[in-house]
Chains A and B, each alone.
Chain A
Amino acid sequence: MSLLEVENLSLSIHGAPILKKINLSIDPGQIVAVTGESGSGKSMTALAVMQLLPNGAQTQGEIRLEGRDVLTTPEAEMCALRGAAIGMVFQEPMTALNPVKTIGDQVMETILIHKAMPATQALDRTKEVLRRVGLPPERFPLSRYPHELSGGQRQRVVIAMAIALRPTLLIADEPTTALDVTTQAQILDLLKGLVREYGMGLLMITHDLAVVADMADQIVVMRHGEVVEAGPTDDLLRNMQHPYTRMLFEASGHQVALPDTAGDRPLLEVTQVVRDYHLPRKGLFDKPGHHRAVDQVSFTLNRGERLGLVGESGCGKSTLTRAILGLEEVQAGEIRLDGAPVFTGHKPNPAVRRKMQVVFQDPYGSFNPRHKVARLITEPFHLLDTPPTGTERQDRIAEMLTAVGLSPNDAGKYIHEFSGGQRQRIAIARALIIRPELILFDEAVSALDVSVRAQILDLLAELCATYDLTYLFISHDLSVVRTITDRVMVMQAGKIVEQGETEQVFTHPQHSYTRTLIDAAPVLPDIGALAG
């Protein structure tokens, strides 16, 4: 008998269909990965098993956990199952823990709420389980609060809470999406180890196909609330039946063909740049300490060149980006664009500023929802001395919207009428409209689904051919940087530890940190090789 069997599960929320006749099953000790793009219903499937669905949800079909139908189990009995028979780990470790309770209390609560053992034993179990997830109480006392831990450490606490009572089924909803690659590798190892050790079934929800291929025994591919394909990992990868599955895998490893460039004239010159942040004083009369976010960074970006910047969160990528844009003054060194400094006399230099534009990560948060697209994409015009008006302005808007694959008619729409991918196209149009010399892409495709990401990368390659772009592409995603840049820099703790031709760095990394990063990143299996 399977541990978990989902049969013909349908779900609607306030009448809108979310899931349609889902089938899947998990055996003890098995890892089943549910994958698909956003809106495919992966998370809702997990929440249905937990019976933690939002208000207005209606379910049909059957979900049997060890033979017992979850859908007909009363809420009081579900409370007894949750945390004891089923554990769950969530995506966002930064917010998944209660900020005002210690980690010890929060882990122990799982044990005490189920009255599984007396308090003294519960304390021992809490220590044991925290040790198991890699937070030994000697180094991480139970009295720590969540804000005193890093994202990866917090995710370990969440996992400890979920496995404290050795559940038979563990559900992990995008458990590593918010984490750096090296941390991701550690957390995935931990999950695999726990499954082996405790014989748990693991239902893993993830959009990352490389993670899926690396971990899962079984894969379930979902789209629009339906299972389009499912099967054992090797079989499914070797023999993809559904075109959507194939499209997903191809888009995940999407390669673009960048046009050749002969960049030999320097455009951006960064010399010995240092950026310090003040830390709060330790004592009343102590000098304030400082944190060096960017440490003696130097590099040159030639005209027409596509440069990548990779590194983990907190390494100083974003700080360096802000310094280049002239949003913050640096403490030492100089940043010059086209020979002119971005900062002159403690003020950003407007003549330089108009030659740079930026595209941010979040396609939802970076637009004013009350303005129409025409106004949004012409915002950079205020940097010009004589902004185009009348028909010239209209022509520029139409040209840009067409260039990024939208229609000139879209100028009259509001931003909420567009999807995430379309919004990112609009962000690119906004950056391009004043024909900047340099564009900074700050994690510009990180929030997008793989198929949309592939389209945006293609768009960038096209724009490179048409407009001869020079850009700095900042990302934590190595596979994207590998295809979209000519040269790459690796940043660690404020320093550039390695830079060189992209292919060269990826195939023959010199610095140990670069090797760690590349090794930690899960690799998509070569579908062609598998099929052959």
Chain B
Amino acid sequence: MLRYALKRLISLMISLAVASVVIFAVIEVAPGDPASFMLGVNAQEDTLAALRAELGLDGSKLERYFNWVSGMLVGDFGTSYTYRTPVSQMIADRMWVSLPLALYALTLSTLIAFPAGIYAAARRGKPGDLTVMGATQLGIAVPNFWFAMMLVLIFAINLRWFNAGGFAGWDQGLWTGLHSLTLPAIALALPQAAILARVMRSSLLDILGEDFMRTARAKGLSRRQALWRHGVRNALIPVLTIIGLQFSFLLAGSIIIEQVFYLPGLGRLVFQAISARDLIVVESVVMLLVFAVITVNFLVDLAYAAVDPRLRSRT
């Protein structure tokens, strides 16, 4: 198990190193000089040069790459071209919204999807299954911003249970923070839950056809006991893969939902930074997201091994 984890960890490091090179290279070839963008078209050549030096844009490419990477390693992401504040601070502020939101949505999605998928698989072809499948079809088809608007209409405007948007901040207390993230989390979770429920159902149905499920029944387990004791854990592998992918998506892919609910999240930060040619911010956020995705995949790999003993010994 330890060797398996170690091997995964090494592959994580390599992926990160490769990703940093690719991101740096892509940003390098992107057109647009941040210094002239900031100072306008009429700027003097020597002012431009001074600003470039200040921003650290004048060294060789290799030098700048190593400065960037070594800075990141100690938490220094550089200074935003447009806001003139440390990028690390900007990202940290946004992270406090995006990360809890992603986790919240993922928890909701799992809590909805697992029971729904298991329920549907246990009642294959019966009305219960058809209802769940119909609902998931809808969940996949309808875009999440529409859900978001409906949620605002019903729960914020009509019922007044929640605020229509904005984030109160965690200093108001955990409950207040969670409260203001609830509607966005639900809007994000519903389509994800629909996909996850379908994966859970089909994975479980595959497992139900396995020989060892018949063996379990021959031992005297009821259908339900066999499903829970032998089915669910075996069905988890493909489900874990999807959960990993969904978390990565939720972390970065919630721009629209952040926009609908006026949330100061990472998605909006990237959007604003790209519009303002604030390349250092884009670079840093993208690197951070890559880091998150790769770390999540690492955790998913560890979860695989926890679920399936064959992976532990194979290494």
Residues of A within 8 A of B (CB): 50, 52, 75-76, 79-84, 87-88, 90, 92, 95-101, 109-110, 113-114, 145, 147-148, 158, 161-162, 280, 284
Q: Is the CB of A114 within 8 A of B220?
A: yes
Q: Which residue of chain B has its CB nearest to the CB of A107?
A: B219
How long is the Cα–Cα vector from A148 to B214 in the complex, in angstroms? 21
In the complex, identify which listed stretch (B58-66, B91-99, B260-268, B303-311) lies at the interface while the others stay far away. Answer: B303-311
Q: When chains A and B are docked, how far (Å) is the Cα of A515 from the Cα of B92?
A: 75
Within the complex, the shortest CB–CB distance from B13 to chain A, in Å, comes to 14
- Residue-wise, chain B 220-234 has the 8 Å CB interface mask toward A (1 for contact) of 111001000110011
CB-based contact B220/A100 at 8 Å: no
**A-B CB contact pairs (8 Å), 20 listed:** A52-B217, A52-B218, A79-B220, A81-B220, A84-B220, A87-B218, A88-B218, A92-B211, A95-B212, A96-B214, A96-B215, A98-B230, A99-B310, A100-B234, A109-B221, A113-B225, A145-B310, A147-B309, A148-B313, A162-B219
The interface residues of chain A lying within 8 Å CB-to-CB of B211 are 90, 92, 95-96
| Residue from B214, B222, B308, B314 in contact with A100 in the complex, judged by beta carbons closer than 8 Å | B308
Q: Are B212 and A99 neighbours in the complex by a CB distance under 8 Å?
A: yes
B216 part of interface (Cβ distance < 8 Å) = yes
Write the nearest CB–CB distance from A195 to chain B, whole angstroms: 18
B220 adjacent to A83 (CB under 8 Å): yes
On chain A, the residues within 8 Å of B314 by CB distance are 280
Question: Within the assembled complex, what's the spacing in Å between the Cα atoms of A50 and B6?
Answer: 47
Nearest Cβ distance between residue A33 and chain B, in whole angstroms? 20
Contacting pair A90 B222 (CB below 8 A): no
| Chain A residues near B214 (CB-CB < 8 A) | 52, 90, 96
Kindly list chain B residues whose C-beta atoms are within 8 Å of the C-beta of A88. Answer: 215, 218
Q: Which residues of chain B are near A284, meaning CB under 8 Å?
A: 6
Q: Which residues of A contact B309 (CB under 8 A)?
A: 99-100, 145, 147
**A101 and B218 contacting across the interface, CB-CB below 8 Å:** no
Please determine whether B215 and A100 come into contact, CB atoms closer than 8 angstroms: no
The answer to whether B219 and A80 touch across the interface, beta carbons within 8 angstroms, is no
Instruction: Give the residue of A96, A98, A145, A161 whose beta carbon is less than 8 angstroms from that of B234.
Output: A98
Contact status A97-B218, CB under 8 Å: no
Residues of B within 8 Å of A90, CB to CB, are 211, 214-215, 218
A99–B234 CB distance below 8 A: yes
Please tell me if the beta carbons of B234 and A162 are within 8 angstroms of each other in the complex.
Answer: no
Q: How far is the CA of A84 from the CA of B218 in the complex (A)?
A: 10
CB-CB nearest in chain B for A88 = B218
Task: Pick from A87, A98, A280: contact of B216, CB below 8 A.
Answer: A98
B233 partner residues in chain A, CB cutoff 8 A: 100
Within 8 A of A (CB), among B292-315: 307-310, 313-315
Q: Does B210 contact A (CB under 8 A)?
A: yes
Give the distance in Å from the alpha carbon of A87 to the alpha carbon of B215 in the complex: 10
Residues in A neighbouring B220, C-beta threshold 8 A: 79-84, 110, 113-114
Min CB gap B281→A, angstroms:
38
**What chain A residues lie within 8 Å of B310 (beta carbons)?**
99, 145, 147
What is the bound-complex CA distance between A75 and B217, given in angstroms?
A: 11
CA distance A122 to B59 in the complex (A): 73
Name which residue of chain B comes closest to A47, CB basis: B214
Residue among B222, B309, B315 with the highest chain A CB neighbour number at 10 A: B309
- Say whether A161 contacts B215, CB under 8 Å: yes
- Least distance between B221 CB and chain A CB atoms (Å): 6
Number of A-B contacts (CB under 8 A): 79
B229 closest partner in A (C-beta): A109
Residue ID in chain B nearest A87 by CB atoms: B218
Chain B neighbourhood of A96, CB < 8 A = 211-212, 214-215
5 shortest interchain CB distances as A-B pairs: A83-B220, A95-B211, A83-B219, A88-B218, A82-B220
Minimum Cβ distance to chain B for residue A13 (Å): 16
Question: Which residues of B sit under 8 angstroms from A110, Cβ to Cβ?
Answer: 219-220
| Chain B residues, CB < 8 A from A95 | 210-212
Q: Among the interface residues A81, A98, A110, which one has the most CB atoms of the partner chain B within 10 A?
A: A98
Instruction: Name the residue on B nearest A78 (C-beta).
Output: B220
Give complex CA distance A161, B234 in Å: 20
Report Cα–Cα, A110/B216, bound state, in Å: 9
- A113:B219 contact, CB within 8 angstroms: yes
B228 to chain A, nearest CB (A): 12
B230 touches A162 (CB 8 A): no
Smallest beta-carbon distance A150→chain B, Å: 15
CB <8 Å contact, A76 and B308: no
Report the bound CA distance from A98 to B307 in whole Å. Answer: 12
Q: Which residues of B contact A97 (CB under 8 A)?
A: 212, 215
> Nearest chain B CB to A29's CB is how many angstroms away?
22
- Tell me whether A161 and B230 are in contact (CB under 8 A): no
Q: Return the chain B residue nearest A281 by Cβ.
A: B315
Known: A95-B211, A100-B307. 9 other contacts (CB 8 A): A75-B222, A98-B216, A98-B234, A99-B308, A113-B221, A145-B310, A145-B313, A148-B313, A284-B6
| Shortest distance from the beta carbon of B209 to any chain A beta carbon, whole Å | 11
CA distance in complex: A97, B211 (Å) = 8
Interface residues in B185-231 by Cβ distance below 8 A to A read 210-212, 214-222, 225, 229-230
- A91 and B216 CA atoms in complex are apart in Å by 15
In the complex, chain B residues whose CB is within 8 Å of the CB of A81: 220
Chain A residue at minimal CB-CB distance from B234: A100
Q: Bound complex: CA of A453 vs CA of B18, how far in Å?
A: 57
In the complex, A460→B212 CA distance in Å? 39
Q: How far is the CA of A75 from the CA of B315 in the complex (A)?
A: 43
A368-B314 Cα distance, complex, nearest whole Å: 32
Q: Which of A50, A75, A79, A88 has the most CB of B within 10 A?
A: A79
Complex: chain A residue closest to B7, CB-CB: A284
Measured between C-beta atoms, what is the minimum distance from A151 to chain B in Å?
13
Question: Once the chains are docked, how many angstroms separate the CA of A84 from the CA of B215?
Answer: 13
A401 CB, nearest partner CB in chain B, Å? 36
Q: Which residues of B contact A147 (CB under 8 A)?
A: 309-310, 313
Smallest beta-carbon distance B220→chain A, Å: 3
Most buried by A among B6, B220, B307, B310: B220
**Measured CA separation A114–B233 after assembly (Å):** 22
> In the complex, what distance in Å separates the CA atom of A101 from the CA atom of B215?
13
Minimum CB–CB distance for B3 against chain A, Å = 8
**Pairwise interchain contact A158-B222, C-beta atoms closer than 8 A:** no
Q: Give the distance in Å from the alpha carbon of A309 to the alpha carbon of B92 in the complex.
A: 69
Chain A nearest CB from B50 CB (Å) reads 50
In the complex formed, the residue of B with least CB distance to A91 is B211
Q: Is the CB of B218 within 8 A of A162?
A: yes
- CB-based nearest A residue for B10: A284
What is the bound-complex CA distance between A434 and B39, given in angstroms? 78
